[in-house]
């Protein structure tokens, strides 16, 4: 059935970090951004899925609560409403919290309909700071399943945040959005430039540029790997509806099974 049902917005609880495993395609690209290291979870930040590039899922923090009660607000610092569904992990870096969801929460009443959304909150008190909104792919559920939103767990490094949109784009944003009153480029043609809107630095369309075809949903979680004088953005995408082999010259080899 395609009938739309009423969905209740989710609420974000900062103490709960949920895991999501995905499978994928490798994409490498140069990056001209600064070479600051991603935060160590031991510093209090959790800037990517798994905390560190090795995805070890272990934090060095001590004295963390082992239980909480949402109703009584025991060991819950703050609560923030999201959309009706959220699949990626919350990441925390530089005093900010980032999480993907859909548009059912209607943070901006002028932006309506089914969208993919990345939200940013202030870590100290949960204040909503800005959001990035993505239209759905016109192919529909074969590539972009309804109401799933942005399922990527973002990566934060310095003042840049990277994630994969529901449109299978690798996106780089300024962590401050337009609250810093600056429009960082090379992308400078954003239509929404208010204080609660995201500032796009650059985007890489994997469908257009490398022929990626996400199966139902693009849900990769980026990681940055440094080798020699290059920085590689490692991305994961969906699979095609036919058997396909990637050349070993691309740095890996994988055979995909035909969808049934």
What is the Cα–Cα distance from 188 to 76, expressed in whole angstroms? 38
- The one-digit pLDDT tens for each residue of the chain (260 residues) are 444 444 555 555 444 332 222 222 222 333 333 333 444 555 678 999 988 888 888 887 788 888 989 888 899 999 999 999 998 889 999 999 999 999 999 999 999 999 999 999 999 999 999 999 999 999 888 889 999 999 999 999 999 999 999 999 999 999 999 999 999 989 999 999 999 999 999 999 988 888 888 888 888 888 887 766 655 555 555 555 543 443 443 333 333 333 43
Q: Where are the domains of the chain?
A: 9-14+38-56+74-260
What CATH class is the domain 9-14+38-56+74-260?
A: mainly beta
pTM exceeds 0.95: no
């Amino acid at each position: 059935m395609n009938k739309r049902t009423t969905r209740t917005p989710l609420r974000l609880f900062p103490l709960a970090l949920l895991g999501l495993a995905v499978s994928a395609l490798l994409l490498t690209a140069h990056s001209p951004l600064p070479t600051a290291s991603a935060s160590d979870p031991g510093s209090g930040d959790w800037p990517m899925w798994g905390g560190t590039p090795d995805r070890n899922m272990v934090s060095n923090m001590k004295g963390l609560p082992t239980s909480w009660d949402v109703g009584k607000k025991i060991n819950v610092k703050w609560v923030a409403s999201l959309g009706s569904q959220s699949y990626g992990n919350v990441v925390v870096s530089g005093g900010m919290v980032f999480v993907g969801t859909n548009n059912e929460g209607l943070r901006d009443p002028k932006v309506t309909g089914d969208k993919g959304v990345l939200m940013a909150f202030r870590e100290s008190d949960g204040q909503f700071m800005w959001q990035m909104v993505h239209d759905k792919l016109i192919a529909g559920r074969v590539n972009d399943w309804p109401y799933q939103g942005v399922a990527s767990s973002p990566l934060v490094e310095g003042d840049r945040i990277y994630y994969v949109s529901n449109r299978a784009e690798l996106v780089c944003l300024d962590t401050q959005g337009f609250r810093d009153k600056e429009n960082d480029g090379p992308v400078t043609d954003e239509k929404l430039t208010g204080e609660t809107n995201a500032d796009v630095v650059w985007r890489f369309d994997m469908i257009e540029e490398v022929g990626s075809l996400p199966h139902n949903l693009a849900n990769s979680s980026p990681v940055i790997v440094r080798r020699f004088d290059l920085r590689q953005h490692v991305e994961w995408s969906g699979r095609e509806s036919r058997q396909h082999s990637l050349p070993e010259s691309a740095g890996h080899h994988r055979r995909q099974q035909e969808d049934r």
